[in-house]
Amino acid sequence: MSCVLGFDVGTRMIGVAVGNLLTLTARPLDVIDVRKGDPDWSKLDRLVREWQPDHLIVGLPLTLDGGEQPMTRTARDFGNRLRKRYGLTPHMCDERNSSQEAARRFADARAAGHRRRRDGQRIDADAAAVILEHWLHGAYEN
């Protein structure tokens, strides 16, 4: 399987999604807690070991006009840490509007009865799936 893991980096949680290079699809996978700037590496290690990704994709938070903001550095730092830990150079993917798209998808799923309010804590994983889909379609759809 040609597997890809995508990440939506936050200061308290990191959303994780898994994608497939053959089908160009992605789905939310999990949420990783962040404490004092450090993600739960043991949980992340398990996911990487389980999925054995070919690529890692990190959402790059930019301002609406494409400029950098404080979270941009946090995402780049996380990408560097992934590279050092797993030996894969992450691809950085513009994540503008991914949170809004994830919130819209969550609301639609709730309205259809597929999600409950308590599932909202996993919205970061939904955002990671949106980021991953954007990367898959930009990098592999041709």
- In angstroms, rounded to a whole number, what is the distance separating the alpha carbons of residues 141 and 99? 23
Strand 13-20 with 3-9, pairing: antiparallel
Higher pLDDT, 105 or 79: 79
Instruction: Please report, for the chain, how many H helices and E strands are present, in that order.
Output: 4, 6
Dump pLDDT digits (tens) for 51-67.
999 999 999 988 778 78
What is the CATH class of 3-140? alpha beta
Dump pLDDT digits (tens) for 14-51.
999 999 999 999 999 999 999 999 999 999 999 999 99
Q: Where are the domains of the chain?
A: 3-140
